[in-house]
Every structure is written in C-alpha cells, then in structure tokens.
C-alpha cells in the first residue's frame, strides 16, 4: 500500500506531531507499506531517523502552496492520504482554510483521506481564541467530513467529535499516541549518572521535557522540595530540558544542589537517560491521557511513573495501568511520590509490568493497525494489482 503522510513539522524541529509522524511512518514502512511524507520547503528534506521518503517540496500550507500539494498528490497517487492535525500545525494563527478545502477537493476526486486528530481546537480561554477558535472548528469539520476514517488521540475528544459531528460518528475512533523515544539499550546507564556526579546508589527522580502545555510544575516543585528535605540520597534530573527552561518553570528545583539538567538531547540519549531513572514525575493539570508522550516513553522503558488524574483521563484505560495516578493537588502528588520512593518493591513491580502494558495498549504496531487495518491494506493492494493488469491489457 502507498501511504502519503501530511504534516507541517518534522525533526529536528521540536514538535511532538513531527516526531509522531516519523515513528508512525517507520512502522508502516517496516510492515511493507510504501511511505512518502510531504511537507514544506522550510523543513528538513532528509530526516536521519526516517526509513522512508521525505519530500519537502511544498512552498507553503496556505493558498500559494495548495497547487503544489495538488500536483504532488496526483504524482504520488497514494492509496491513503493520512493527515496529521493539531490546531496551529498548518498556520501560526490556526486559521488556515486553504489546506482543509484542498484536502476535501482531493477526497472529492476519489483519493482516500484519513485524519489523525492529536488535539481538536482551542478552548475559549483568551480573547484571541474567540476569533481563531471558530475557524479551527470549521477547518476540522471540513477535514473530518472529507475523511473516510478519523483517529482521535484520547477518548474524551473522540466522544466530543462524535457529538459535534454526528454524521461521521461511526468513522471516528480512538487511536492513542505512542512513545516518540525508541528504546535503544545503553551499554552503561551508570556512566550517564557519573557524568552528572550522581552516585551509583543515588535515587534518580526524573522529569522528561519541560516543553508543552498542562504540565503541573507546582506539583513537581512541591514533591521535590518535600522529598529532598527528607532524603539526601535522591537526585532530580531534568531530561531534555535547557538550563533556561528549568530556571523559568522550576526555579526552586533548578537551584537545588542535587538537581541536574541534561540540555536538549537526541532520542537515543533520552533513551539512555530513561534507563537510569528510578521514578518519573509527570503531573498534568488536565490529567494523564494517552497523548502524554513523556509517560508513554517512560512506560516503554519500564520506568515507574507518578502522574495525575483529571478531566481528560480515561479511567478505563489507566485505572488498571502500572502507573500511580494521584489526585491533582500538590499535597497529594507529593505524598504519592514519597510513598513510591520508599517502596522499592512496588517500583520493581511497576517497572516489570510497564513495557508489556505499553506494547499492548500503545505500541506502534497496534497504532498502525488501528489507523490502516490489514483489511484496508489487502483491498488497496488488490485494487492496485487489478489496475496494473488492466493497464497491461491495454
């Protein structure tokens, strides 16, 4: 099957959707699909971690780039066009209608369009969102209407889109987000600790990435303040963050003598640090959900995690998971962290259960199958074979 992925960002730019698209494309390519990623000329044309073709040929995602998108799609002639969506991905203001209208035109011409919704639209929390929010809802409505299948990253948003777009209810499905950090076994995780002056028997408390919304930084500050005052064998490592970011969002923790900041890291180096961490702190103001890739990475690496439940937490998905889900308060989160730090046996059980749970619920093979099931692949390959036979007969 030939699959064309559309996204506005690819590595090395920091973008979770770009990372997701590369990981998904690699899994699709590994199962035998022909994958082409289309993006704009301001993005990298060669992505070292991609095992498929990346074409950075589009001049823009606005009106002046849509004729190029139209030509590229007709040149590639994919069996599936898989569009990635977050509100601000295709324009700085999130108000680009040229792109969804062009995708709808391609669908009308007979191309199979599918959509992956990582986040639907902005909430009306700022005055500017009262201007951009309605346009984002219209743009997503156009894309959903044009798509044969729609994947949504968490079940509350799946239910929201089904309620808002009942005419597409049966085509909207839950498809979680996997880890953007492949597991790369490090020859000596202890060597990483030594590089930052952490003793071999130190208890390493990790925070992965300070980038992104809804991270409850006050809960991290509170938990570290309480834990570091009570125990002198614990160290806080901020993985994949810069010193400037740390000082900005975690000012008290960043100044602590047992806090370490790694700086920005390549994925394989993040994987190495994940193998040194004894416990990950991941509180979110809206709760743990399957789009939280920092926790997905920890699960894939077998790292015990303390996170939070909230309005976007899917209880059916996470209440039986090898995660500690605290109530969303600084006191409750700090208490949960301290309890787990004092219970090495529970940490070992969580670490042992995490990779299997991750692979069953969030592995890339499962994600690829949910987005493009085997039956769809077989039908597309059969149709392509029939078309080739007809062409030869001419």
Give, in order, the Cα–Cα distances in Å from 232 to each of 48, 204, 253.
42, 11, 14
Q: Where are the beta strands (DSSP E) in 127-254?
A: 149-152, 172-174, 203-208, 234-239
**Percent of residues in the chain assigned helix, strand, coil, to nearest 5:** 45, 15, 35
Single out the residue of 41, 53, 47 nearest to residue 10, CA to CA.
47
Full pLDDT tens readout for the chain, 394 residues: 999 999 999 999 989 999 999 999 999 999 999 999 999 999 999 999 999 999 999 999 999 999 999 999 999 999 999 999 999 999 998 999 999 999 999 999 999 999 999 999 988 778 777 788 899 999 999 999 999 999 999 999 999 999 999 999 999 999 999 999 999 998 888 899 999 999 999 999 999 989 877 899 999 999 999 999 999 999 999 999 999 999 999 999 999 999 999 999 989 999 999 999 999 999 999 999 999 999 999 999 999 999 999 999 988 889 889 999 999 999 999 999 999 999 999 999 999 999 999 999 999 999 999 999 866 665 665 556 555 444 444 4
CB 238 within 8 A of CB 261: yes
pLDDT digits (tens, 9 = 90+) for 154-207: 999 999 999 999 999 999 999 999 999 999 998 888 899 999 999 999 999 999
C-beta separation of 284 from 323 below 8 A: no
Strand partners, 212: none
Burial status of residue 77 (CB atoms within 10 A of its CB: 0-12, 13-18, 19 or more):
exposed
- CA angle, 213 then 217 then 222, to 5°: 165
User: What does the buried/exposed string (b/e) look like for 20-35 if buried means 16 or more CB atoms within 10 Å of the residue's CB?
Assistant: bbbbbbbbbbeeebeb
Q: Sign of dihedral through CA atoms 346, 351, 352, 353?
A: positive
Residue 79 Cα distances to 3, 193, 337, 380, angstroms: 6, 48, 48, 6
CA separation for the pair 204, 141 (Å, rounded)? 45
Taken in order 312, 318, 322, 328, is the CA torsion positive or negative? positive
Centroid of chain to Cα 309: 19
| pTM score | 0.90
Cα 163 to chain centroid distance, Å, stands at 24
- Give me the helices (H) in 231-373, please: 243-249, 251-254, 267-274, 293-300, 315-318, 330-341, 344-362, 364-371
Interval 44-70: pLDDT, tens = 999 999 999 999 999 999 999 999 999
- CA 157, CA 124: separation in Å to the nearest integer? 16
* CB proximity list for 288: less than 8 A, separation 6 or greater: 282, 295, 307, 308, 309, 310, 313, 318, 323, 325
Q: Domains in the chain, start-ordered, CATH in brackets? A: 2-178+364-393 (3.40.50.2000), 189-362 (3.40.50.2000)
**Cβ neighbours of residue 210 under 8 Å, at least 6 residues apart?**
217, 238, 241, 245, 246, 249, 250
Tell which residue, 266, 19, 217, 239, has the closest CA to residue 118: 19
């Amino acid at each position: 099957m030939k699959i064309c992925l559309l996204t506005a960002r690819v590595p090395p730019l920091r973008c979770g959707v770009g990372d997701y698209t590369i990981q998904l494309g690699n899994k699709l390519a590994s199962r035998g699909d022909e994958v082409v990623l289309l993006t704009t000329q301001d993005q990298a044309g060669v992505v070292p971690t991609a095992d498929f073709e990346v074409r950075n040929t589009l001049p823009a995602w606005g009106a002046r780039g849509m004729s190029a998108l139209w030509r590229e799609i007709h040149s590639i002639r994919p069996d599936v066009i898989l569009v990635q969506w977050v509100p601000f991905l295709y324009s700085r203001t999130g108000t680009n209608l040229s792109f969804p209208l062009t995708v709808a035109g391609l669908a009308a011409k007979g191309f199979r369009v599918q959509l992956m919704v990582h986040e639907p639209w902005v909430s009306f929390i700022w005055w500017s969102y009262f201007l951009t929010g309605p346009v984002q809802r219209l743009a997503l409505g156009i894309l959903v209407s044009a798509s044969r299948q729609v994947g949504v990253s968490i079940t509350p948003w799946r239910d929201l889109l089904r309620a808002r777009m009942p005419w597409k209810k049966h085509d909207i499905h839950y498809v979680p987000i996997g880890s953007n950090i492949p597991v790369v076994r490090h020859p000596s995780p202890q060597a990483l600790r030594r590089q930052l002056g952490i003793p071999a028997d130190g208890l390493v408390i990790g925070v992965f990435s300070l980038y992104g919304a809804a991270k409850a930084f006050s809960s991290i500050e509170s938990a570290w303040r309480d834990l570091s005052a009570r125990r002198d064998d614990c160290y806080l490592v901020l993985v994949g963050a810069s010193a400037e970011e740390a000082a900005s969002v975690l000012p008290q923790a960043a100044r602590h003598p047992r806090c370490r900041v790694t700086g920005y890291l390549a994925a394989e180096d993040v994987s190495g640090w994940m193998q040194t961490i004894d416990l990950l702190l991941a509180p979110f103001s809206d709760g743990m959900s399957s789009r939280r890739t920092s926790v997905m990475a920890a699960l894939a690496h077998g790292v015990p995690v303390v996170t939070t439940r909230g309005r976007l937490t899917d209880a059916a998905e996470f209440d039986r998971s090898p995660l500690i889900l605290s109530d969303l308060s600084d006191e409750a989160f700090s208490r949960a962290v301290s309890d787990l730090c004092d219970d090495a046996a529970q940490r070992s059980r969580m670490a042992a259960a995490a990779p299997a749970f991750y692979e069953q619920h969030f592995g890339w093979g499962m994600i690829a199958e949910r987005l493009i099931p085997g039956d769809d692949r077989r039908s597309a390959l059969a149709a392509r074979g029939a078309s080739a036979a007809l062409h030869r007969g001419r």
